[in-house]
Amino acid sequence: MDATLPAENLKPHQNFTVASISLLASNPPKLVSGPLSAIFGSRSGFPELQFFLEPDGQHSLNFDLRTAQLFRLGEFQSLCVSEGSESIKERTYSKGVTIQFKEEEESSSFHGAFEQWRKKVVIQESTLPNGTASSFKSKFDDKIEASSAKMYFHYYGQLLHQQNMLQDYVRTGSYYAAVIENQADFDGRVVVDVGAGSGILSLFAAQAGAKHVYAVEASEMADYAQKLIAGNPFLGQRITVIKGKVEDVELPEKADILISEPMGTLLVNERMLESYVIARDRFLVPNGKMFPTVGRIHMAPFSDEYLYVEIANKSLFWQQQNYYGVDLTALHGTAFQGYFSQPVVDAFDPRLLVAPAVSHVINFTTVKEEDLYEIDIPLKFTASVGTRIHGLACWFDVLFNGSTVQRWLTTAPGAPTTHWYQLRCVLSQPIYVMPGQEITGHLHMIAHSAQSYTINLTMSAKMWGPGAEQGGILQTSSCKLDLKEPYYRMSQPQAYSVAQDQQPNQLLQSQDLQLPSLDEDGSDFIQQPSNDNDVHIL
């Protein structure tokens, strides 16, 4: 392709009128008779071809010119196809239209324009500031479903959700302290705020004396951040808000330090850590600082009979054999598994943990973006009590490795509660352990295109019990969960309600629970443990 064409030759928009188009995705192909407008232009910085299917401009068919191709089928007819998805093994073309032109001349100039707009991509690629030949196609759009991204940025575009984070004083206070106590790392420095939201961290960095802060925010919140920053002119004069994704925007200079709050539930939910790492590789000077610097996921087995029974009971609805004359039991097993596929988010009493935690460290200054696509954490614990283990409890912390002060922000159980709470993966088949018994397993997380992870948890223990040879039988339990679909349990009455002198692990056990299998149609109701004599700890 010719990359020598000056960019100014390309107009912001170029209109064509075509006689008709046929949409090939319909079977048979759907003819849309014209005359129709076909417009070359660019949206979000990417060149695009848009066919307006109705005169009012309400419905259009868009082709991303970074991947679209145009073929001549005849003097008056052409075929336009656009790549739908790409994997190592195959490419699929999700969109295709045949275009009917009235005249050959029109067809030729359309093809000419198509080539020119495609070259625009090449020109932009070749003018990347660091001169690298990286692909212009956004890394973010490559791996994240458009529908997920739309909902995600819509969420963060709303002030109430930013307020929710700002009102997490453990979170925001830790950031404030980490910045102000490490003024030396900000004073006179260029800072990039990765996912600036309301712009609060940019304002903190400016308070700590930053020479200039680039506040990059992809959602509509960028406009509010601009307002907030303008309302603080003393600080705001050193802050530039840039609306766009960190994967796409260009900055006029490199940063000495990045600041960001990219942590989701279980640290990795939302997949924003990847954007933080991409921002590091794009904007940070070699050996620049990152706030936060390191993240750790902590995991420990827990025993929580109340939680287990509560989840198991949710599917009891489907055990009704006469729901308005309908037998619902065929779906009971599916509902049971469904409830156990939701990670539970709440604040739990640390006394529910039955072994010291293990940790998985992610160093943000060195981790590769790809390392975050799949995370496999081996588990090995020694049970401190004999009990039923109902799953794995997880939480995280992050370190601000400042030159002056090292500060941790923790979401651990027992520590002041944050809006992240803690997360628990609950096994539908609990496992029994004796004191000192070893528990092994894996927490395997695979990133998916809806900005979250599929979690596979396996936990195993030597089983002790009637009929079992001591230490002879390995009991294994596993579950698959979607981190995107958590069960937020905070509104429920807290379950860590124990008589003051009673250990949580000695609470009412539900060994007698009838565990349904997928095709079971049993009708016993599981009793919720009584809350009598409860003392609410939290």
* Active-site residue list: 261, 270
In this chain, which of 68, 272, 445, 483 binds ligand SAM, going by CB under 6 A? Answer: 272
Provide the token pair at 330: 């065929």
**CB closer to ligand SAM, 48 vs 248:** 248
Nearest-CA neighbor of 495 among 349, 341, 282, 320? 349
Interface with ligand SAM, residue 215, by CB under 6 A: no
Beta strand 190-194 pairing with 255-260 = parallel
Q: Check residue 201 for interaction with ligand SAM (CB under 6 A).
A: yes
Identify the residue among 107, 174, 198, 303 touching ligand SAM (CB under 6 A): 198
Within 10 Å of residue 149's Cβ, how many Cβ atoms? 18
Torsion of CA 159, 161, 162, 168, to 10 degrees: 140
Helix (H, G, I), strand (E, B) or coil at 430: strand
Residues 161 to 180: which contact ligand SAM by CB under 6 A?
Answer: 165
Minimum distance from CB of 167 to ligand SAM (Å)? Answer: 10
Q: Do the Cβ atoms of 241 and 217 come closer than 8 Å?
A: yes
Residue count, binding to ligand SAM (CB under 6 A): 21
**Residue with the shortest CB distance to ligand SAM:** 195
CB of 301 to ligand SAM, least distance (A): 29
**Does the footprint of ligand SAM cover residue 498 (CB under 6 A)?**
no
Instruction: Please report how close the Cβ of residue 455 comes to ligand SAM at its closest, in angstroms.
Output: 21
> Is 219 one of the binding residues for ligand SAM (CB under 6 A)?
yes
Q: Does 196 bind ligand SAM (CB under 6 A)?
A: yes
**H or E stretch including 226?**
helix 221-230
- Of 203 and 392, the one with the shorter C-beta distance to ligand SAM is 203
Q: Provide the minimum distance between the beta carbon of 359 and ligand SAM in the complex, in angstroms, as a whole number.
A: 23
In the set 110, 114, 117, 140, which binds ligand SAM (CB under 6 A)? Answer: 140
224-253 burial, b at 16+ Cβ within 10 Å, e below that, comes to bbbebbeeeeebbebbbbbbebbbbbebee
Structure tokens at 272: 């924003």
239 lines the binding site for ligand SAM (CB under 6 A): no
CA geometry: angle at 488 spanning 487 and 490, to 5°? 140
Closer residue to ligand SAM in complex, CB, 270/310? 270
Which stretch in 245-253, 296-304, 312-320, 459-467 sits in contact with ligand SAM by CB under 6 A?
A: 245-253
Q: Is 195 one of the binding residues for ligand SAM (CB under 6 A)?
A: yes
Token pair for residue 343? 């990670």
SS3 category, 510: coil
Q: Which residues contact 345 (CB under 8 A, 6 or more apart)?
A: 265, 421, 422, 423, 424, 486, 487, 488, 489, 490
**3-state secondary structure (DSSP) of residue 287:** strand
Q: Which of 124, 433, 118 is nearest to 300 (CA)?
A: 433
Q: Which of 275, 303, 452, 510 binds ligand SAM (CB under 6 A)?
A: 275
Residue with Cβ nearer ligand SAM (13 or 419): 419
218 binds ligand SAM (CB under 6 A): yes
We find the least distance from the C-beta atom of residue 441 to ligand SAM, in angstroms, to be: 30
List residues near ligand SAM by CB under 6 A.
Answer: 140, 153, 156, 165, 195-198, 200-201, 216-219, 221, 245-247, 261, 272, 275
